[in-house]
Amino acid sequence: MAMNWERLQKSQRDYPKPKFAEKEITRQLKKRPTDPYLLAWKADNCLRADKAFESRGILHELLERQLPITDIDLLNYIYHIYLDAERRIKPTLENRPSAGGIVQKTWQHTAKSLPNRKARLDLWSSFFVSAMREECWDDVRVALIQARQDGYKSNKRVVFAQIFANQMLYETYVEMSRREKRDMNFVEKLPRELAFKPLQTAFSGQTGNLGDPGHVQDMRDLKLMADIFSRQDRLSELHRLWFSADIPQNMIELCSKYRRDMYMLYLSLRRVSASVDWSGLRYICLDEVSQALASPEPARSLAELSTRSWHVWKDLIEATEKVLSTNELPEQIIMEPIRDIIDRAFDSGVEWTGRSSRLTHLSLTAFVKGQLLLLCKKYWLENRQHSSCYRDLRAFVERLDLEERAHFQSHITESARADVPQSELAEGVTIRNWLHVETNVLKFHYLLIICLPDEPNYVAIPQLLHSIVRLFKIATQVEHEACFDLASLAVMTLLKFHRTSRFALQTAMLALHLTSDESGKQNRPLLLLSTRLHMMTGLTAVAVDQYRHVRAKEMLNDTLSHNLLTRISHVHPFDSKAMKIHPDGELRNVISTIDRMETKVDDLLYTDMLNFQYDQAFELLDLKRQLKSSLTKHLCIVERRRIARLKGEMVDDTWPCHATFKNISDNRDFDAWPQFNSTKTPSIHLFGTVAPTPAWVADFYIEREPLYWYLNEERADEGTLTGHILNHELSRDGGEPLVLAPSEVVVRNLWEAMNNVSQPLFQKQHQELGSRLDSLFAELCTAHSELVIMDNPDHRDLPYEDQPLPSTENQMQVLYGHLEVLQLAWKLCDQLDRKRKTAPLKTIVKEKTVKDLRDITSNCYKCIQEYTQKCIEHWKKHGLAIIKAQVRYGDTGTALKNLVADDELHAIARLYADLVIDTLSGVLQVKLYKK
């Protein structure tokens, strides 16, 4: 039976593994040796078996055949396989603009064989989509040109799609020349003009009548025009075309209709431009403000500007700062327009009461270093009963000097007394307003006492916590919305004491209590904070449960899942049915969710020519790249691989494709936690943790992954993947500096010593192997000594409130980090045992050397197991008492007693003690080797 596309797909499903697929392909090719479907399958199967050269050879023969391939699905299949083969053979040429002339000719050959225009247009539309998926922009351009020749010449979407393709082709050439460190030639520069000129000509009214397909007719066309000008760094020219006095006659109506939208779009592009003309941006903002002041109703115009177009003021301040830094003009001349705006708009006797206008006044006054304290006090008096008051004033209060801060703190404390309800019969509105005021006062106390000083006032923290807890209980009783902020503020306050395990436990328990009811489960920032706190203390089951209540759907998995999953392979790698923990399942879910989001973007971006969304194409493509190269996804893949190896299981053979290492995108949100700290302190610094970066991913694949390939014999094409990473400049030498977590620093020397032995062993450079084996042995001896010191029995004899928590994130990472290296060290010994019996290792690697390595590896492993077993036995006997003692410790423990009753404490302490044992038990499940 002859093969077709449907039968090919069925055969591939029936034979998913390359080994068995090869036998079936060979069997069928004996009957039909020239069948294009079978040959394409064979090429794909060779690629999956790491035979890229053989795959490309088969495809070359297939593409050069005289008989055209008329099945569009098969053509697309061949196109993708061919590109994959080329990229594996030449990873340094990953950014290719085209699959090559041989591929383009094949499509053209097929088009000539088709019977009618519709069939040809369908073919070119399919080629257009396939080439876009591979980001081969010259192929996209060819498809569009051919489609216009075959009947789409007057279609506007096709015309504008060609402009888009030319711009992307130019950007590809720019990237190629940068990587190859050379100048661009004329052919490579040409697409830039082919994208720019049609739009410039169209807007200038030189394209003929309004029916011309390249004519700029609406906001969608203007959006594409702005994107092209911005990406080509031609915003000054765009400003001249859009906002000058000599706008073409046929564009006046369009510009008048969309003036506000054009202006906002222009400013938004200005802010992200690679080379911003700050002087020009300052002039534009001043002009916009001047027009508002000159309007018949300046107060209304400025209020609207402050409300709807706040970034005008923000851009004005930022642009003025940049112009000041150039020292081209005296400061007085540059600052005079802003002082004039303050005088005319805010100090002219006009009463400004709106929140947005007040914030504008504060921002400008702070910038010119005016009487900021007076305005802060006035703003406080007018807005203290609003939940937004703290958020609005925080940045301005930070600008005050020490004396002014003390004055402001005294002022808000005194003024708040006027809002205290005078009797128990006070109206509900009065009580609600008072709760808002008191909550804002406590937020500012937190800022001024804890956050802004170089060293927090630790003495004042317990009293502040008492006040927050007292107010929280009142807010909860009357079901006031302030309870959300107060709950988060209480946890943030106690978090400042997190340096010891007792305060970490107090903070975690407080967070768990505050999120236990239905209202707490609606407090997403606090749930995320609680998730992170419980991961820090190794209480993984609670962390997983807290994160589930976050209800992180779709995009949020990419931005928020790091709170739970960062380095989870070295905290709790094993499933626990009793505790409902499935780390690998959580990681797999995030990966599949990000993939699903990418597919949804694909559905919007990769449409046929006639439905191409040219005005959204750049944004969709950027979003597509962010998801494809998501750092979150990379980290989840790494964690899954580490979990599988610690378990001694087969590693998932799903590899990140070449494109995912291109411009890795960090989409994680570290500002989703409660925002009460100083604006100058990044939220990530709250915990003192080191978040993995793209450089960390590169380090993993370059320094660690090859060891597994060599010692586990997992893959044969390790050089290809490493080549991709190096090519994309993710290595430490080409990008951001590598920053390791403290637990990773502990085992860093062991990894380096392992690499120093493995590289000469497997690359057959044996002359230095002996000395490097000695160095590895020395590092393992050092590690053993440190592990012996870690097992300090004195810690278990301390009073309950002083005993360290053995399941902390850092402690577990140290244990699993050592186990990870020890497993590899044992496999290295296996390899040495086999290879030392053959020349030339007979004279280099002695039997005693391998035995010594095995013994020290085994001793390190036993040390970890014994330490863990002792901790588990100790916590089974004393864990409940330790938790209770630490949670009730000190003034902060007394404050918590007002919230967490003894019965609840007992229940949570029992849970926490069980979870500590559960977390430690994972260490005992790691086997040094398979028996």
Domain count, the chain: 3
In angstroms, what CA-CA distances link 94 with 217, 299, 489, 761?
38, 57, 49, 31
Q: Binning pLDDT at 50, 70 and 90, where does residue 645 land?
A: very high
Q: Binning pLDDT at 50, 70 and 90, where does residue 667 land?
A: very high
- DSSP H or E run through 455: none
CB atoms within 10 A of CB 4: 12
Domain final residue, candidates 370, 393, 421: 370
Whether 597 is covered by a domain: the verdict is no
What CA–CA distance (Å, rounded) separates 645 from 648?
A: 5
Distance between terminal CA atoms of the chain? 49
Whether 883 is covered by a domain: the verdict is yes
Encoding tokens for residue 520?
Answer: 């707490």
145 and 282 housed in the same domain: no
> Phi/psi at 422 (nearest 5 deg)?
-80, -15
Spatial neighbors of 321 by CB under 8 A, at least 6 apart, are 367
pLDDT of amino acid 145: 95
Q: Mean pLDDT, to the nearest integer, of 22-43?
A: 93
Domain extent at residue 317: 277-370
In angstroms, what CA-CA distances link 874 with 157, 513, 803, 809, 886?
72, 27, 11, 19, 16
> What is the average pLDDT value for the chain, to the nearest integer?
87
pLDDT of amino acid 715: 60
Residues comprising the chain, all counted? 931
Beta-bridged to residue 581, according to DSSP, are 576
Contact by Cβ (8 Å): 926, 865 = no
Domain final residue, candidates 306, 337, 370: 370
Q: What is the 3-state secondary structure (H, E, C) of 634-663?
A: HHHHHHHHHHHHHHCCCCCCCCCCHHHHCC
Whether 833 is covered by a domain: the verdict is yes
Q: Mean pLDDT, to the nearest integer, of 805-824?
A: 95
- Nearest Cα residue to 9 out of 28, 37, 29: 37
- DSSP H or E run through 198: helix 186-203
pLDDT of amino acid 209: 46
Whether 306 is covered by a domain: the verdict is yes
Maximum alpha-carbon separation in the chain:
97
**Percent of the chain clearing pLDDT 70 (strictly above):** 92
Q: Which SS3 state, helix, strand or coil, does residue 908 take?
A: helix
Angle at 93 between CA 92 and CA 99, to 5 degrees: 155
Question: What's the CA dihedral at 875, 880, 884, 887 to 10 degrees?
Answer: 50
Whether 596 is covered by a domain: the verdict is no
- Nearest Cα residue to 73 out of 158, 130, 31: 130
pLDDT of amino acid 800: 93
What sign does the dihedral 926-927-930-931 (CA atoms) show?
negative
Q: What confidence tens digit (pLDDT) does each residue in 246-288 have?
A: 788 878 888 888 888 888 888 788 766 666 677 878 888 888 8
742 and 881 housed in the same domain: yes
DSSP letters, 33-58, are TT-HHHHHHHHHHHHHTT-HHHHHHH
Q: Which SS3 state, helix, strand or coil, does residue 82 take?
A: helix
Spatial neighbors of 719 by CB under 8 A, at least 6 apart, are none
pLDDT of amino acid 836: 81
> Phi/psi at 665 (nearest 5 deg)?
-105, 120
Contact by Cβ (8 Å): 337, 384 = no
Instruction: Tell me which amino acid residue 803 is.
Output: Q
Backbone torsion region of residue 929, taken as left when φ is above 0, otherwise alpha when ψ lies between -120 and 50, otherwise beta: beta
Is the model's pLDDT at 24 over the cut of 50?
yes
What CA–CA distance (Å, rounded) separates 429 from 634?
A: 51
CA 84 from chain centre, in angstroms, equals 26
Spatial neighbors of 711 by CB under 8 A, at least 6 apart, are 758, 824, 827, 828, 831
Whether 103 is covered by a domain: the verdict is yes
- DSSP H or E run through 30: helix 18-31
Whether 456 is covered by a domain: the verdict is no
- Would the pTM count as exceeding 0.85? yes
What CA–CA distance (Å, rounded) separates 280 from 319?
A: 9
In angstroms, what CA-CA distances link 446 with 464, 494, 511, 890, 899?
8, 11, 18, 20, 20
pLDDT of amino acid 349: 55
Contact by Cβ (8 Å): 380, 389 = yes
Contact by Cβ (8 Å): 363, 346 = no
Q: Which of 438-447, 615-624, 895-904 has the lowest mean pLDDT?
A: 895-904
Cβ-in-10-Å burial (0-12, 13-18, 19+) of 79 comes to buried
> Phi/psi at 453 (nearest 5 deg)?
-60, 150
What CA–CA distance (Å, rounded) separates 559 from 556?
A: 5
907 and 770 housed in the same domain: yes
What CA–CA distance (Å, rounded) separates 331 from 325?
A: 10
Most confident of 212-226, 563-577, 837-851: 563-577
Q: Mean pLDDT, to the nearest integer, of 147-153?
A: 86
Q: Mean pLDDT, to the nearest integer, of 495-500?
A: 72
| 436 or 735, higher pLDDT | 436
What CA–CA distance (Å, rounded) separates 874 from 877?
A: 5
pLDDT of amino acid 722: 57
Domain final residue, candidates 116, 132, 153: 153
In angstroms, what CA-CA distances link 141 with 95, 160, 224, 595, 631?
16, 11, 17, 27, 31
Question: What's the CA dihedral at 163, 169, 175, 178 to 10 degrees?
Answer: -100
pLDDT of amino acid 367: 85
pLDDT of amino acid 418: 86
Spatial neighbors of 502 by CB under 8 A, at least 6 apart, are 801, 802, 886, 887, 889, 890
- DSSP H or E run through 489: helix 482-495
Backbone torsion region of residue 613, taken as left when φ is above 0, otherwise alpha when ψ lies between -120 and 50, otherwise beta: beta
Cβ-in-10-Å burial (0-12, 13-18, 19+) of 884 comes to buried
139 and 286 housed in the same domain: no
Question: What's the CA dihedral at 486, 487, 489, 493 to 10 degrees?
Answer: 130
Q: What confidence tens digit (pLDDT) does each residue in 713-730 have?
A: 766 454 455 555 555 555
Whether 705 is covered by a domain: the verdict is yes
The DSSP symbol for 804 reads P
Beta-bridged to residue 630, according to DSSP, are 665
What CA–CA distance (Å, rounded) separates 633 from 656?
A: 9
Contact by Cβ (8 Å): 543, 512 = no
pLDDT of amino acid 685: 61
Encoding tokens for residue 386?
Answer: 């609003």
Q: What confidence tens digit (pLDDT) does each residue in 877-913 have?
A: 999 999 999 999 988 899 899 889 999 999 999 999 9
DSSP letters, 871-906, are HHHHHHHHHHHHHHHHHT-HHHHHHHHTTS-HHHHH
What CA–CA distance (Å, rounded) separates 221 from 255?
A: 12
What CA–CA distance (Å, rounded) separates 689 from 659?
A: 29
Instruction: Tell me which amino acid residue 473 is.
Output: K
What CA–CA distance (Å, rounded) separates 162 from 202?
A: 15
Q: What is the Rg, in whole angstroms, of the alpha carbon atoms belonging to the chain?
A: 33
Q: Which SS3 state, helix, strand or coil, does residue 295 take?
A: coil
Contact by Cβ (8 Å): 468, 493 = yes
Q: Which of 519-528, 712-721, 838-847, 894-903 has the lowest mean pLDDT?
A: 712-721
pLDDT of amino acid 212: 63
Spatial neighbors of 18 by CB under 8 A, at least 6 apart, are 45, 48, 49
Contact by Cβ (8 Å): 823, 832 = no
What sign does the dihedral 697-700-706-709 (CA atoms) show?
negative
Contact by Cβ (8 Å): 634, 697 = yes
727 and 866 housed in the same domain: yes
What CA–CA distance (Å, rounded) separates 632 from 639?
A: 11
pLDDT of amino acid 207: 54
Most confident of 199-208, 651-660, 663-672: 663-672
Beta-bridged to residue 665, according to DSSP, are 630
